Structure 1
Amino acid sequence: MEAFSEYLTRIDNPGHRDRTEEILAWITNKFPTLEPLIKWNTPMFSDHGTFIIGLSTSKQHISVSPEEAVMARFADDIARAGYSATKGLFRIPWNEPVHYELLEKMIEFNMLDKADCSTFWRK
């Protein structure tokens, strides 16, 4: 979690900071082989140098960005979870539960799908 400490200190709302830290810690503990990093002022995780998932915070929600291919594959699951989405991210409102099973499926898919990927982003 050290990689995210400076980012977390910049979140003014203590509840938002705690929630963000909780999600980042869950990913770190569930997927210990992923590398935590900050790029473009955004906490994210990579695997062998390729992007797996990123998070960003706003006043109303935390955004989860797993890349468009993952968003398309899990669009129905995201909708069933009640999250609003674009083609590149979905939003978890601060007052809504985090569907960790969905996060887990998305991360596992990305890790498997990008196992042979040699670039940070999909081509």
Structure 2
Amino acid sequence: MDVFTPYLSAIDNQDHRIRMEEILNWIMEKFPQMEPVMKWNTPMFTDHGTFIIGISTAKQHVSVAPEEVTMTHFADRIEQSGYSATKGLFRIKWKDPVDYKLLEDMITYNIQDKAEYTDFWRK
């Protein structure tokens, strides 16, 4: 979590900071093999050097970016969870519950789908 400390410290709203810490800690506990990294001022997790998921804050929400392929694969579940989405990310409003099962399934999907991947991003 040390890699995320400066990012988290910069979140002025204490409730938002605590929520982000909870999400990031959950990912680290659930997937201890992944490496937490900061890239482009975004907390990310990688597996064998390839991008798996990025989680960042915005004024009204937490942004979850698992790559477009994963967004497409899970589009129905994202919608069922009530999250708004673009082609590359979905948004969890600060007061909405986190669908941790959806996060777990997305991360697992990316780890498995990118198991033989050597680049950071999908091409």
State the secondary structure of the residue aligned to 1:82.
coil
**Which runs of structure 1 show a deviation greater than 2 angstroms over 4 or more consecutive aligned residues?**
none
**Equivalent residues in 2 for 1:43-122, closer than 5 Å:** 43-122=43-122
* In structure 1, C-alpha distance between the alignment counterparts of 2:56 and 2:20, rounded to whole Å: 9
List runs of 5+ in structure 1 lacking aligned partners: none
* In structure 2, C-alpha distance between the alignment counterparts of 1:51 and 1:119, rounded to whole Å: 8
State the secondary structure of the residue aligned to 1:32.
coil
Q: TM-score, normalized by length of structure 2?
A: 0.99
* In structure 2, C-alpha distance between the alignment counterparts of 1:55 and 1:104, rounded to whole Å: 13
**Equivalent residues in 2 for 1:32-51, closer than 5 Å:** 32-51=32-51
* In structure 2, C-alpha distance between the alignment counterparts of 1:86 and 1:13, rounded to whole Å: 25
Q: How many residues align?
A: 123
CA deviations on 1:64-99 (whole Å, 9 max, x unpaired) are: 000000000000000000000000000000000000
* In structure 1, C-alpha distance between the alignment counterparts of 2:24 and 2:57, rounded to whole Å: 12
2:50 partner amino acid? T
* In structure 1, C-alpha distance between the alignment counterparts of 2:118 and 2:102, rounded to whole Å: 26
Report the counterpart of residue 16 of structure 2 in structure 1: 16
2:55 partner amino acid? L
Q: TM-score, normalized by length of structure 1?
A: 0.99
RMSD of aligned Cα (Å): 0.3
TM-superposed deviation, 1:56: 1.1
* In structure 2, C-alpha distance between the alignment counterparts of 1:90 and 1:80, rounded to whole Å: 12
* In structure 1, C-alpha distance between the alignment counterparts of 2:58 and 2:109, rounded to whole Å: 26
* In structure 1, C-alpha distance between the alignment counterparts of 2:83 and 2:61, rounded to whole Å: 10
